[in-house]
A and B are shown apart, each in its own frame.
Chain A
Amino acid sequence: MSALLSKDMKIVELIDLSCDVLPVFLRLDMQLPFGDRSVEELCGQYGLSSDMFLMLCQIYLSADVEPDVTLLKGDDLRHLLRYLHASHRYYTDVLLHSIESGVERVLKACDRKQSLIVRKFYDDYADEVRAHLEYEEQVIFPYVERVIAGLQGEVSIEQSMANHSDICDKVDDMKSIIIKYLPESCPTAERYELLCDLFRLRDDLAKHTLIEVAVLTPLVAKLEKELAL
């Protein structure tokens, strides 16, 4: 863990480092105001370990983090699941909607043919993202719940995670299309706004994937091993 973050620091200092950490608070459902509470005090209030909380913050703060899951314990996995679930809700209920109406505003001024082509690409992509998240909600998360409850599964978390597709590439494609190829007739301000949303989605999905691959999967795999003994 980076020297910058410690459990003794005040929440307000942590947020001052970068507003990129704000989603972590929101998705763990931590209620404002925080007053002068420290990281440890706040985490204690919500029953999760400072190590896990700071790990999530660290992932949002820097590009290359190698999370050390040996620090995590007990209820952390349950909180992690809650966190991932809240991220899904943010993608489907907030960000995808915002992008969708952004796409609509940008394409309004395009000619019909071009607008249909791009619209179709986006709709297919959004369907893919929803299907991907749905698979996690319906298959992976319930499986993790069962493992937490001490039930041995017939598959492993590694197999289940390998089953699901990459959803980051096409956001990049969408971005390139908007920056490089959409005709001039598409309104500029709306285009920038849409780009900001797409970057937000791409960066958040990348963090999300990292959390699933480098935190969730090894934690569950460890539990699976203990169950198999």
Chain B
Amino acid sequence: MRRYRIAIVEPSVIIAQGVASILAASGEADVVAIYPTLRAYADRLNVKDVEVVVVGSQVAVGVQLRSELQGVAVVLLSTTVVDEDVLRQVDGVINIYDDEAALMRKVRTAVEQGETNPYSDSHDLSERERDVLILVAKGMANKEIADRLNISIHPVMSHRKNITHKTGIKSVAGLTVYALLNNLLDQSDVTL
């Protein structure tokens, strides 16, 4: 039987350990690591070949899950009300009231789904491009962005070129709309 290598990203230790032990007990899963945040997951060391990431729903608020979690099946662990935007970016959803069988079944379907999900190889922005985009939307000039991110102005310009290429949007106003629609930015952050 296929065994899935699973990582869990969830700040609540109780929930994370609970899900981990149920998954492990199924005999079909190896829970290889647990992280409190997406940042910690991104910085992981020595943990390779993760196939499935189970993400707590608070973690998923306001982030582009698809670009944070590339090349893996994403299963949302629903503990709160979840936005439609988030649901569209995941391959499966488990509810904290699901029983053991349902939980493992959903992971399996998610992996199959992930293998066919068109979003998996989408042209999403990289993390750095997102940082730049957010500052552009806040109205900063290239020089200010370079200072803020501690890089020189050339990479800022090339990030901007990539952002326009990937999104199809040139104007600052248009990029702001993109950032807001994708929840990269809150409306209060920009002078609309």
A and B are interacting partners: yes
Which B residues are closer than 8 A to A by beta carbons? 84-85, 88, 167-171, 173-174, 176-178, 180-182, 187, 192
Question: How far does the alpha carbon of A227 sit from the alpha carbon of B173 in the complex, in Å?
Answer: 43
Tell me whether A169 is interfacial, beta carbon within 8 Å: yes
Minimum CB–CB distance from B86 to chain A (whole Å) comes to 12
For residue A181, which residues in chain B have a CB less than 8 angstroms away from its CB? 167, 177-178, 181-182
Minimum CB–CB distance from B37 to chain A (whole Å) comes to 26
- CB of A180 within 8 A of CB of B174, answer no
> Closest A-chain residue to B167, C-beta based?
A176
Number of interface residues of A (CB under 8 A): 24
Could you give 8 example pairs across A and B, Cβ below 8 Å? A117-B177, A117-B180, A121-B177, A170-B171, A174-B174, A176-B167, A176-B174, A181-B178
Summarize B's interface: helix, strand, loop or mixed: helix
- Those of A160-194 within 8 Å (CB) of chain B: 169-170, 172-177, 179-185
Q: A120-B192, A183-B84, A183-B85 are in contact. Are A114 and B170 (CB under 8 A)?
A: no
> Closest A-chain residue to B169, C-beta based?
A173
- List 19 additional contacts besides A116-B187, A121-B173, A177-B169; criterion CB under 8 Å: A113-B180, A114-B180, A117-B177, A117-B180, A173-B170, A173-B171, A173-B173, A175-B168, A176-B174, A177-B177, A177-B178, A177-B181, A180-B167, A181-B167, A181-B177, A181-B181, A183-B84, A183-B181, A185-B84
For residue B181, which residues in chain A have a CB less than 8 angstroms away from its CB? 114, 117-118, 177, 181-183
